Amino acid sequence: MKEKVEFKPVDYDPVVDSLFVMVPKSEYEHSVMLGDDVILDFGRLSGRDKLDVIGFEILEASKKFGLDKHLLRNIKRLYAEIKISEDRVEMMISIVIVQRKKERERSRILEMANVGLPTAVTSISV
Task: Supply the Cα-derived Rg of the chain in whole angstroms.
Answer: 14
For 90-97, what is the mean pLDDT?
Answer: 94
Q: How confident is the model over 74-84, as pLDDT tens digits?
A: 898 999 999 99
pLDDT at 49 over 90: no
**116-119 contacts at long range (C-beta below 8 A, 24 or more positions apart):** 117/32, 117/40, 117/84, 117/89, 118/51, 118/84, 119/84, 119/85, 119/86
pTM (2 decimals)? Answer: 0.85
pLDDT at position 1: 42
Q: What is the mean pLDDT of the chain?
A: 88
> Please, what is the Cα angle at 14 between 45 and 41, to 5 degrees?
20
Contact 52, 86 (CB under 8 A): no
